[in-house]
Amino acid sequence: MAKLILLRHLQSQWNKENKFTGWTDVLLSEEGIEKASIIADKLMAEPIDLVFTSPLVRNKNTAELVLKYLNRPDIADIKIDKAFDERNYGVWQGLDKGAVKQKYGEEEYRRLRRSWTGKPEGGESLQDVYERVVPYYKNAIEPELRAGKNCLVVASHNSLRALAKYLENIADEAIIDFEIPNGGVVIYELDESLQIKNKETR
């Protein structure tokens, strides 16, 4: 009936420097920008009707660059909402990931970073992100999918992880292993009840 396409933003400067970004508004790296055409090639055959993203510049610029390489000036009205912002990493924002891992130990670091309820001091858990992403998806995107429109969501890692958890009904304890790389694409083909008929990763 319709397709929902998830695209994680291209590499940012802090991705390159291995720093926690969170709500910090960091630009795309030169390497990230250079890969926009490659991502567009992955989506060239997909009939995209609507694009959703967040106001964070790395998300918004990824959406704009990909649409440019897809030669889709007709999609000028990108839907922008903070619901798709990255998870707030609290006191970890701006810190080197390797140094944080060394401080907390591998097991606790992974729990705080990737589990359902773990959160750094002053930050959000994935559950917190889920509670802002899913209502927006239900209110703004589901009606478009039901109308047969193919939707592209360009967003940050944890907002996409939260949405994928909802779509795939991933168990709380299993979401720790779900990841999407920078520039990674997940395409869901949905039936009339918006259940997943097919999933493809590119």
53 dihedral zone (left: phi>0; alpha: psi -120 to 50; beta): beta
Q: Is 55 helix (H, G, I), strand (E, B) or coil?
A: coil
Per-residue model confidence (pLDDT) at position 199: 98
Q: Do the annotations mark residue 111 as ligand-binding?
A: no
Burial 165-181 (b: 16+ CB within 10 A, else e): bebeebeeeebbeeebe
- Is the pLDDT at 143 greater than 90? The verdict is yes
Q: Do the annotations mark residue 195 as ligand-binding?
A: no
Q: Do the annotations mark residue 157 as ligand-binding?
A: no
Six token digits for residue 142: 């589901």
Tokens 């964070």 map to which residue? 56
Per-residue model confidence (pLDDT) at position 1: 85
Q: Do the annotations mark residue 15 as ligand-binding?
A: yes
Per-residue model confidence (pLDDT) at position 23: 98
Domain ranges for the chain, please list them: 2-201
Q: What is the pLDDT of residues 65-90, one digit of tens each?
A: 999 999 999 998 899 999 999 999 99
Per-residue model confidence (pLDDT) at position 149: 97
Q: Is 31 helix (H, G, I), strand (E, B) or coil?
A: helix
Per-residue model confidence (pLDDT) at position 15: 98
Q: What is the pLDDT of residues 37-60, one digit of tens each?
A: 999 999 999 999 999 999 999 999
> What mean pLDDT is predicted for residues 193-199?
97
- Taking every pair of Cα atoms in the chain, the longest distance, rounded to a whole number of angstroms, is 50
87: Cα separation from own chain's centroid: 10
What value, to the nearest 5°, has the Cα angle with vertex 49 and ends 29 and 159? 50
Per-residue model confidence (pLDDT) at position 130: 99
Per-residue model confidence (pLDDT) at position 187: 98
Confidence of residue 152 (pLDDT cuts 50, 70, 90): very high
Question: What is the spatial distance between Cα 26 and Cα 64, in angstroms, rounded to a whole number?
Answer: 16
Which residues have a catalytic role annotated? 9, 86
Confidence of residue 94 (pLDDT cuts 50, 70, 90): very high
Q: Do the annotations mark residue 102 as ligand-binding?
A: no
Six token digits for residue 77: 């009205």
Among 122, 147, 129, CA closest to 50: 147
Rounded to 10 degrees, the C-alpha dihedral 13/15/20/21 comes to: 50
Q: What is the chain's mean pLDDT, rounded? A: 97
CATH 3.40.50.1240 fits 2-201, yes or no: yes
Q: What is the pLDDT of residues 117-132, one digit of tens each?
A: 999 999 999 999 999 9
Are 74 and 49 contacting, i.e. CB atoms less than 8 angstroms apart? no
